[in-house]
Structure 1
Amino acid sequence: MTEPRASGIAAALRAGPLVLDAGMSTGLERLGVRTDSALWTASALREGSEAVRRVHEEHLAAGADVVITDTYQAALPTLAAAGLDRAEAGEMVRRAVAAARQARDAVRPGAFVAGSVGPYGAHLADGSEYTGAYRMDESGYRDFHRGRIALLLEAGVDLLAIETLPRADEARAVAVLLAEEFPGTPAWFSFTPAAASPAHASSAPAPPALPDGTPLQEIARELGKAPGVVAVGVNCLAPARVGEAIRALRRGTSAPIVVYPNSGESYDPLAKAWSGRDDSGEEGATSLAELAPRWVAAGASAVGGCCRTTADDVAAIARALGDGRAV
């Protein structure tokens, strides 16, 4: 990671709006790559990176200002559990970063490469990133995340995307890890709010919260002031819930906000498949392209898509946000 690129992403997020990429899994599936294993999309890196590079190129050609590496499921303990030794695991992470950088340099040289750091829940491969049904102490979280973060930075990402976080304790542990062991590293922290908020006695909906019960506003206030944090946000939630999440984030912090929802479908961790749609909430069933300008007006600095979204969505978002973009 070079200093000009690192400082550039912070400035670009403040200037906004940026267009983020779409779901790697959907892009790979379109190319005939199977992702129904414990390594999920990282399985595409075991033999090479051509398919991953092609997906990045599609997103960049569609207008993405930021592409996220195919390392969400590539924590070193996850790769070790899949039978890779440390050298092989390191090569997979480096291969993922190289694929993103090569695509960026070929298609959209001004774009940024964000190194994906998925939560411990992703390692469990049972949908725990949506439930937060796990817990480790700070040392455990730091040990889990340290190796992948080091490899991503060595391989030359412009920032880290600490994403799909369902637990505040894990987010805090990673923030401390970055501050103490990787000082100066720019990162965004993106959370997965609980799928539905329970009602208060008054029947008014509860404010958005993480699955562990932490109010989104509270963790935004805390992480928004952490060293190196260039943005906070939400990802892999239904589009219908993004508006309320932005309002909660903005109440907690003045930091830039990133949002990249999924298609609105629900994930079955046993079948490793998506189905149905969640069109509840005030946003209704409008498309990402229609919603993106509303989200920017509400305070979002970067908008993209997560699971089940495609390069077509990226292109539509880029058109919707028009000429006011920072990159």
Structure 2
Amino acid sequence: MASCARLGQHMNDNGPLILDGGLATELEAQGFTLQGDPLWSARLLHSNPQAIRDAHYRFLLSGADVISTATYQASVTGFIHHLDVSPERARELLMSGVHLAKQAVDTFVSDSRPAAGQRRPLVAGSIGPYGAFLLDGSEYTGAYAKEMSVEELKAWHRPHISGLAAAGADLIAFETIPSIKEAQAVVELLREFPDSKAWLSFSCKDGKCISDGSLFSDAVQLAGRSTQLVAVGVNCCSPALVEPLLDSGCSLLSPDMSWVVYPNSGEEWDHSQGWITSEEKSQSILGLSQTWMKQGAALIGGCCRIGPAHIAELRRGLKGSSLCSV
């Protein structure tokens, strides 16, 4: 797979790869109402694909080396149920997430006329946890995994990996995984797609544990069983939790693996009130990112409430340029 070789070249370049920020955050900033929608930003794959292309393009302009598809809350079952489409159309919609991102990259490369030797931005196929489909916030508890087997979780994720890989994603991003059991499922399932590379990032409850209460260090050790994972880490947690989490797992990080880090703004989400802004808890990712880089983070970006302006600031701080390497 050529994209795997390109990924290695990217990660060997000077400095970390800059990820994008919260795609839904950027879409909401453009006036789209996503909160409460069972498909979240994936709804726009069906209703307004141009809006997704445009959002990807803005993150590329801000300096993102990697953009993630609008498929975090996408699922074949969800599309069938909420859009009343056929299974075939549901798979096409899932795959369109990759196509739209690649189109945005093509446009960006064409517009920017890169110099010889510059790298082309990568597309990560986003796969959220089963809890994202449940619409009850359980991607931050992992409670559902107690009632499910590893095989059931593999069966849920299989069509999503299949679709994103077939569409040509450069790598798969398993995001906000809250439980050891679900992590085991995706690590095992990835072997069915031997040409695919991936990262695995967890939702975490504190500076030592992922959301289901398991030690982050155990999650890192589990990730080390896969030769296809290029990175393991955390996303959608407070920036303040990142340093202690990485410290807790550093001795168990495989030599062939790096950290991937993309926290949210530090604000808190309340199901009844939405995002609650607090001066105490909102923190600059840029202010902490140098430490994460020293800890071995090779992929750094943002999640919820992080927009293109934040990513541009992050790139300037870590790479000295607001322009993306293509």
Note whether the superposition's TM-score is higher than 0.5: yes
User: Retained in 2: the 8 A contact 1:240–1:278?
Assistant: no
User: Retained in 2: the 8 A contact 1:48–1:95?
Assistant: no
Q: Distance in 2 between matches of 1:59 and 1:102?
A: 13
Query: Match of 2:138?
Result: 128
Query: Match of 1:8?
Result: 6
Task: Using the TM superposition, give the Cα deviation of residue 161 of structure 1 relative to its aligned residue in structure 2, in angstroms.
Answer: 0.2
User: Retained in 2: the 8 A contact 1:33–1:44?
Assistant: no
Q: Distance in 2 between matches of 1:215 and 1:84?
A: 40
Q: Distance in 1 between matches of 2:70 and 2:87?
A: 18
Identify if the C-alpha distance between structure 1 residues 279 and 77 changes in structure 2 by more than 3 Å, giving closer, same or farther: farther
Q: Distance in 2 between matches of 1:113 and 1:27?
A: 17
Runs of 4+ in 1 over 4 A off after TM superposition: 323-327
User: Retained in 1: the 8 A contact 2:179–2:211?
Assistant: yes
Query: Match of 2:195?
Result: 184
Task: Using the TM superposition, give the Cα deviation of residue 279 of structure 1 relative to its aligned residue in structure 2, in angstroms.
Answer: 4.3
Identify if the C-alpha distance between structure 1 residues 44 and 210 changes in structure 2 by more than 3 Å, giving closer, same or farther: same
Q: Distance in 2 between matches of 1:78 and 1:251?
A: 39
Matched to 1:183, the amino acid is P
Query: Match of 2:258?
Result: 256
1:317 aligns with 2:314: yes
Residue ranges of structure 1 left out of the alignment (5+ in a row)? 197-206
Q: Distance in 2 between matches of 1:110 and 1:87?
A: 31
SS of alignment partner, residue 103 of structure 1: helix
Query: Match of 1:199?
Result: none
Matched to 2:297, the amino acid is A
Query: Match of 1:202?
Result: none
Q: Pairwise mapping of residues 1-327 of structure 1 onto structure 2 (< 5 A)? A: 3-15=1-13, 16-36=15-35, 37-82=37-82, 83-108=84-109, 110-135=120-145, 136-179=148-191, 181-194=192-205, 196=206, 208-253=208-253, 254=255, 255-269=257-271, 273-277=274-278, 279=280, 286-323=283-320
Q: Distance in 2 between matches of 1:118 and 1:173?
A: 13
Percent same amino acid among aligned pairs?
38
Task: Using the TM superposition, give the Cα deviation of residue 116 of structure 1 relative to its aligned residue in structure 2, in angstroms.
Answer: 0.2
Q: Distance in 2 between matches of 1:117 and 1:28?
A: 19
Q: Distance in 2 between matches of 1:98 and 1:298?
A: 34
Q: Distance in 2 between matches of 1:301 and 1:95?
A: 28
Q: Distance in 1 between matches of 2:258 and 2:228?
A: 13
Identify if the C-alpha distance between structure 1 residues 125 and 188 changes in structure 2 by more than 3 Å, giving closer, same or farther: same
Q: After superposition, what is the alpha-carbon deviation per residue over 1:78-106, rounded to whole angstroms, capped at 9, x for unaligned?
A: 22231332122122112211110011122
User: Retained in 2: the 8 A contact 1:190–1:235?
Assistant: yes
* Worse-matched range after superposition: 27-36 or 55-64: 27-36
* Worse-matched range after superposition: 88-97 or 153-162: 88-97
Q: After superposition, what is the alpha-carbon deviation per residue over 1:19-61, rounded to whole angstroms, capped at 9, x for unaligned?
A: 0000011110111111120111111112231001111000000
User: Retained in 2: the 8 A contact 1:18–1:326?
Assistant: no
Q: Distance in 1 between matches of 2:261 and 2:47?
A: 32
Identify if the C-alpha distance between structure 1 residues 276 and 164 changes in structure 2 by more than 3 Å, giving closer, same or farther: same
TM-score when scaled to structure 2?
0.89
Aligned residues: 308
Matched to 1:98, the amino acid is H
Identify if the C-alpha distance between structure 1 residues 144 and 269 changes in structure 2 by more than 3 Å, giving closer, same or farther: farther
Q: After superposition, what is the alpha-carbon deviation per residue over 1:255-285, rounded to whole angstroms, capped at 9, x for unaligned?
A: 21110001111222356x21134846xxxx5
User: Retained in 2: the 8 A contact 1:77–1:144?
Assistant: no
Q: Distance in 1 between matches of 2:12 and 2:53?
A: 28
TM-score when scaled to structure 1?
0.89
Q: Distance in 2 between matches of 1:267 and 1:213?
A: 20
Q: Distance in 2 between matches of 1:177 and 1:11?
A: 26
Q: Distance in 2 between matches of 1:318 and 1:140?
A: 40
